[in-house]
Amino acid sequence: MTTDALHDCVLGQSHGQSVLFVPKDRYIATLRKLVDDSYTMCVDLTAVDFLTHPGRTLPEAITPERFEIVVNLLSMRDRTRLRLRTQVSEADASIDSAFDLYPGTEAMEREVFDMFGITFNGHPDLTRILMPEDWDGHPLRKDYSQGRIPVQFKGSAS
Amino acid sequence: MSDLLSTVVSAGTFEGNQELRSRSELTAKEVMREVGAVLRMSEADVALLAEVEADPGEDQTMIINMGPQHPSTHGVLRLMLELKGETVLRCKPIIGYLHTGMEKTGESLTFMQGGTNVTRMDYASPLNNELVFSMATEKLLGIDGDIPERAVWMRMLLSEMNRMSSHLLFMASNGMDIGAVSMMLYGWREREEVLRFFQKVTGLRMNHNFIRPGGVAADLPAGWRDDVLEILEMLGPRLDEYDTLMTGQPIWRERLQGVGVITRDEAIALGATGPILRSTGLAWDLRRDMPYLNYKDVDFDVIVGSYGDAFDRYAIRLAEIRESMRIVRQILDKMPGGDYRIQNKKVTPPPRARIDESMEALIHHFKIFTEGFKVPEGEVYVAIESPRGEIGCYIASDGSATPYRMHVRAPSFVNVQALPHMMRGGLVADAVAVISSVDPVLGEVDR
């Protein structure tokens, strides 16, 4: 992976798309700089649980953690996209909320909280959004079992 | 580990309140904060609203549920509205009633099968879902530049026809919500013609799984050109009828003009895309601004509004049907011959005829359909313009035959979050018009 730098963060390329690896402690500060760089729209915010795939390709300077917050930004002025990937550890599964910079992330952060159990500090209304209020666990985590319906075969012993 | 687990579980079981809480349960500061959340505004903006927020007193307001079964909520969208008389003070969309864990399901389906899953998300424009999923997979495979020209033009044809059918469905449902019930029948009638074409091409009216990684599933059937021309000829005069029936009609304009207004900055901040963003006057259409497929080779206009209200969104969609017809006419002229899927043995199964002759072809066919094909490790985000806005697909692959993580950025999911903003201060009767003008598809909101 060829790397470069932007706002003191590692800038990589993935299939011709720009990916910025932002440390968790500078997540909001970097976003704030990117807003000034005309990345005015946060198109998407999601997360990935790399529990069963720890050996993914990352730039050397980045320490892989279990979770990754993936933010897709769009600059309408320059017609470019930029993707932010931030490593979030399992022990401290939380990150600052981008709500003040991009109010549209409110629902997306709730979805990530609901599906991955990552909390967003400073989020105004961090509750489950898709699952019922009393649901246990976070379905998109890799250790959340998918569940299956037992199939009984005709004539088999069990 | 057990400590860790307990913290995780306790973090997970603290749910907070999904519902809109009454004012008596909240302190003034919490109301302020909730308004900020519900309106999706920053605190600075909320402070500016202070004069509107002059506490009306709990006995003067009423919280009512609209949905999840209300006919105008387009499925199972539930809105909690705080009303003072007829005026909407606060509103909170509560979603998830249709959540079936499609992103989780996507992790256990191969890239070959994934299309059947994503096509069911936005069931009003299934072909666009398949298209964005296929394009993301192709980018990961590194074959996105090698798709045969005919497949690319076929994808454009289907995508534009789907835009027409989706917007026709909007015309129908919007008419029904506003009370123009005959419009509902006309809209469904015209949409049915387009669906009949889809049925002829793909075998199904909806949920086609026709656009697949590597191309499309089959070639266009004989006589497709005449079918398309027939639809185009039929649709032109019918759209003029819609204009007569609705666009210039005083009652229609009264119901929609100035209702559900959103400004350009608000739309951008909220991440709203598609006709909502364009209704504010910003000409942003991924087909033109970040072209994919062969959209750079066709000539079309990006339709914008000027007031950001429900009428603009209606008019934009009506005009977009005409633009799609214009694009389809150009596609008819430009449709090349050749292959309809990539001849890459890794991705494309051998043709049916070869299976009878060759043992290897049979094994190969079997393996592609049971194990699927392996996709190199990596991650990619691809976005296209669906009828509702930007639909994006984020795939992280670990090098196996199933996506490690498949996320769909659903335009309706984001657009629905703009509802509270558009409804604020409006009348409860206009709430129906506002929901309708956002045109959410709940299958996509909840996934």
A40 touches chain B (CB under 8 A): yes
Residues 6+ apart with CB under 8 A from B186: B171, B172, B175, B238, B241, B242, B245
**Residue of chain A nearest B4, judged by CA positions:** A91
CA distance B38 to B63: 14
Question: How buried is B365 (Cβ within 10 angstroms: 0-12 exposed, 13-18 middle, 19+ buried)?
Answer: middle
Confidence of residue B408 (pLDDT cuts 50, 70, 90): very high
**ipTM computed for the complex:** 0.89
Name the residue among B75, B55, B183 with its Cα closest to residue B440: B75
**Which among A48, A81, A128 is the nearest to B405, CB-wise?**
A48
**Residues in chain A closer than 8 A to B396 (CB atoms):** 48, 56
A104 touches chain B (CB under 8 A): yes
Which of residues B344, B367, B396 is at a domain's end?
B344
In words, the CATH class of domain A3-93 is alpha beta
Q: Is the pLDDT of residue B273 over 50?
A: yes
Name the residue among B303, B380, B445 with its Cα closest to residue B140: B380
Helix (H) or strand (E) holding B404: none
**Cβ-contact B337, B153 below 8 angstroms:** no
DSSP-derived letter for residue A96 is E
Q: Is residue B67 part of a domain?
A: yes
**Which among A44, A79, A125 is the nearest to B37, CB-wise?**
A125
Contact B40 A103 (CB under 8 A): yes
Tell whether B256 and B140 lie within a shared domain. Answer: yes
Q: Is the pLDDT of residue A13 over 80?
A: yes
CATH number, domain at B336?
A: 1.10.645.10
Q: State which amino acid sits at residue A112.
A: V
Ramachandran sector of residue A15 (left: φ over 0; alpha: ψ -120 to 50; beta: rest): left
How many domains in chain B?
2
Tell whether B203 and B296 lie within a shared domain. Answer: yes
pLDDT at residue number B28? 57
Residues 6+ apart with CB under 8 A from B337: B150
Q: Is the pLDDT of residue A93 over 60?
A: yes
Q: Strand, coil or helix: what is A11?
A: strand
CA gyration radius for chain A? 18
pLDDT at residue number B14? 43
Q: Choosing among A17, A28, A53, A66, which should be mutated to test the B contact, i.e. which has the most B CBs within 10 A?
A: A53
Tell whether B82 and B143 lie within a shared domain. Answer: no
Q: Which of B31-40, B313-322, B422-431 has the lowest mean pLDDT?
A: B31-40
Q: Is residue B367 part of a domain?
A: no
**Residues in chain B closer than 8 A to A91 (CB atoms):** 4
Confidence of residue B6 (pLDDT cuts 50, 70, 90): very low
Tell whether B420 and B284 lie within a shared domain. Answer: no
Tell whether B119 and B250 lie within a shared domain. Answer: yes
Tell whether B148 and B228 lie within a shared domain. Answer: yes
Contact A127 B16 (CB under 8 A): yes
Q: Is residue B300 part of a domain?
A: yes
Q: What is the rounded average pLDDT of the residues B110-133? A: 91
Domain that holds residue B238: 112-344
Tell whether B286 and B334 lie within a shared domain. Answer: yes
Comparing B283 with A57, which gets the higher pLDDT? Answer: B283
Backbone angles phi, psi at B66, to 5 degrees: -115, 115
Q: Is residue B375 part of a domain?
A: no
**Residue of chain B nearest A144, judged by CA positions:** B104
pLDDT at residue number A150? 66
Contact B271 A130 (CB under 8 A): no
**Which among A52, A103, A133 is the nearest to B18, CB-wise?**
A133
Q: Is the pLDDT of residue A146 over 80?
A: no
Name the residue among B444, B447, B446, B442 with its Cα closest to residue B74: B442
**Residue of chain A nearest B46, judged by CA positions:** A100
Q: Give B387→chain A minimum CA distance, Å.
A: 16
**Which among A44, A104, A128 is the nearest to B15, CB-wise?**
A128
Q: Which of B75-89, B340-354, B375-389 has the highest mean pLDDT?
A: B375-389
Q: Give B55→chain A minimum CA distance, Å.
A: 20
Instruction: Name residue B79's beta-bridge partners.
Output: B66, B93
**Residues in chain A closer than 8 A to B379 (CB atoms):** 14, 19, 48, 70
Q: Give A109→chain B minimum CA distance, Å.
A: 12
Which of residues B318, B344, B370 is at a domain's end?
B344
Q: State which amino acid sits at residue B401.
A: A
CA distance A72 to A84: 6
A1 touches chain B (CB under 8 A): no
Q: What is the rounded average pLDDT of the residues A115-125? A: 87
Q: Give A65→chain B minimum CA distance, Å.
A: 15
pLDDT digits (tens, 9 = 90+) for A127-137: 888 888 878 88
Which of residues B344, B372, B390 is at a domain's end?
B344
Tell whether B308 and B198 lie within a shared domain. Answer: yes
pLDDT digits (tens, 9 = 90+) for B314-332: 999 999 999 999 999 999 9
Residues 6+ apart with CB under 8 A from B30: none
* Helix spans in B243-382 (H): 250-256, 264-270, 275-279, 286-289, 310-334, 352-357, 359-370
Tell whether B188 and B306 lie within a shared domain. Answer: yes
Tell whether B21 and B93 lie within a shared domain. Answer: yes
Q: Is residue B116 part of a domain?
A: yes
Q: What is the rounded average pLDDT of the residues B185-191? A: 91
Q: Is the pLDDT of residue B19 over 80?
A: no
Q: What is the DSSP string of A3-14?
A: EEEETTEEEEEE
Q: Is the pLDDT of residue B12 over 80?
A: no
**Residues in chain A closer than 8 A to B18 (CB atoms):** 127-129, 133
pLDDT at residue number B11? 42
Q: What is the rounded average pLDDT of the residues B266-286? A: 90
